[in-house]
Amino acid sequence: MSNIAERINRLPSTPTLRKILFITGIGWVFVAMNQGMISGVMAAIGKDWALTQGQLGWLGSIGMLGMAIGATVSGILADRIGRKNVFAINLVIFGIASLLAGLSFNYAMLLAMRFISGYGLGGSGPVAFAYISEYSPTKIRGRNGILLESFWAWGWIFAALIAYFFIPIYGWRAAFFIGAIPALYAIVLHKKAPESPRYLQTVNREKEAEAIVEKMEKEAGATYEEPATEPSNGTDVKRVTFKDLWSKKYLRITSVLWVVWFGVNFGYYGFVLWTPTLLLGKGFDLVKSFEFTLIMCLAQLPGYYSAAFLVERIGRKKVLSIYFLGTAISAWLFGHAGTSTEVLIYGSLLYFFALGAWGCVYAYSPEVYPTIARGTGTGWATSFGRLGAFIAPFTVPVIYSFYGSETGFTYVFILLTLVFAAVATVVFLFGKETMGKSLEEINK
């Protein structure tokens, strides 16, 4: 049996890899667009259905509960039936749920559809990034992970454009109907994207793995010679359980990832789902709040691309620490913004650093577990993180009701500052550096 991992690691970026990155990235655009639209919907439906702050909090959070369950189940399934299959299934799930959300005739039905949609959305992340990580050579693995995550910015920009151009004219239901497109795209992904060779080898589908890697080697003009010793990673693989993730072997990895995922979810969804509504509270009208949100979303792109540039030069730990610290400082400044100009500048900085950090989190997470545990480990970490995303939207109405909207706005962002700063500290002190190491070296 040939060493599939070694052969992948010695390749440059090939047309096959770029194709897979693009196809998976488009799927990730749809994930982001579907998730991003809820912020515009919350602002619009709050006025349309006269919902309370508590009801809006549930609308923002119920999807996160679904995402937590989806991440866990999908991560486990990805280690059993494949990365590509699970990703495609999740696109169908949240696409159909989005269509039904647009047809909702009452608040209860909308909540139910957002929960199901959340399941599909949450299950997409750990699977997509494990998939790209396993296809990528060591020297560009981190960069590819962040480039995949950068597609999230485009999805969020499309969501902001939908909120700006469609919701004021056609209403919030139109946003959900557009969000049903991924159900059709799943067919494209399933047909055009081959399964991960590393995964195929772990389930004894050696010939399929060989064919994919041979094609990539031919594209790169590379040849392969059998090594003197070969790995025994294709026979009777023991699947990793939740208990195994907390064994001595994985304890440090799992602990750091769970803290990072919880913190980044709590911090990010503590502001991003509420941004249009918070801007309404600051005195901007609905269209203006959507316009400001769109401008801030554009700042995500340089955040991702700068992180992608740095991650293979200064390392994962440094990028994560710097960008989380930058997010903390930006959150503090945004919470104390007093003018429209300050709102735009500090809000753009907040999106810049927060999404740069997100990109690195997604790139880093699948690197620290071996192939047999990659889906399960990242799935559980992502799932725990979604609990932070579930709790976060409720903090805004609670703080607002206690302090009032003007003072409450500042206190929300003071809390988020503390969360981001804590995550930066944990990564800096306890994170494991993975730059320049193969997935197999990291997990010896």
Q: Which has the higher per-residue pLDDT, 287 or 435?
A: 435
| Residue 49 maps to a domain | yes
- Cα 264 from Cα 355, distance rounded (Å): 10
CB 98 within 8 A of CB 117: yes
Residue 327 included in any domain: yes
Name the domain count of the chain. Answer: 1
Residue type, 277: T
In single-letter form, the type of residue at position 316 comes to R
With tokens 């299959």, the residue in question is: 85
User: 304 to each of 66, 301, 358, 410, how far by Cα in Å?
Assistant: 26, 5, 8, 27
Categorize the per-residue pLDDT at 341 as very low, low, confident or very high, splitting at 50, 70 and 90. Answer: confident
Return the H-helix or E-strand segment holding 311: helix 300-311
Residue 235 placed within a domain: no
Residue 257 lies in a domain: yes
Range of the domain at 203: 4-220+240-442
For 47, other C-beta atoms within 10 Å of its C-beta total 11
Q: Is residue 342 part of a domain?
A: yes
Roughly what angle, to the nearest 10 degrees, separates helices 316-335 and 300-311?
Answer: 160
Split at pLDDT 50, 70, 90, the class of 437 is: confident
Q: Is 328 contained in some domain?
A: yes
Residue 390 · residue 64 · CB < 8 Å: yes
- Residue 68 falls within a domain, yes or no? yes
Global pTM exceeds 0.85: no
For residue 234, is pLDDT > 60? no
Which DSSP letter does residue 52 get? -
The answer on pLDDT for 229 being more than 60 is no
d(Cα 217, Cα 231) in Å, to the nearest integer?
A: 20
Q: Which of 137-141, 357-361, 372-376 is the least confident region?
A: 372-376
With residues binned 3-state (H G I as helix, E B as strand, rest as coil), the percentages for the chain, rounded to 5, are: 80, 0, 20
Single-letter amino acid code for the residue at 378: T
Phi-psi bin for 237: left (phi > 0), alpha (psi -120 to 50), beta? beta
Tell me how far CA of residue 282 lies from CA of 56, 339, 351, 415, in angstroms. Answer: 18, 10, 19, 19
Give me the torsion for CA of 102, 277, 154, 181, rounded to 10°: 0
Rounded to the nearest integer, the mean pLDDT of the chain is: 86
Q: Is residue 234 part of a domain?
A: no
The CATH number given to whatever domain includes residue 123 is: 1.20.1250.20
**What confidence tens digit (pLDDT) does each residue in 65-123 have?**
898 899 889 988 998 899 999 999 999 999 999 999 999 989 999 999 999 999 999 88
| pLDDT confidence band for 24 (50 / 70 / 90) | very high
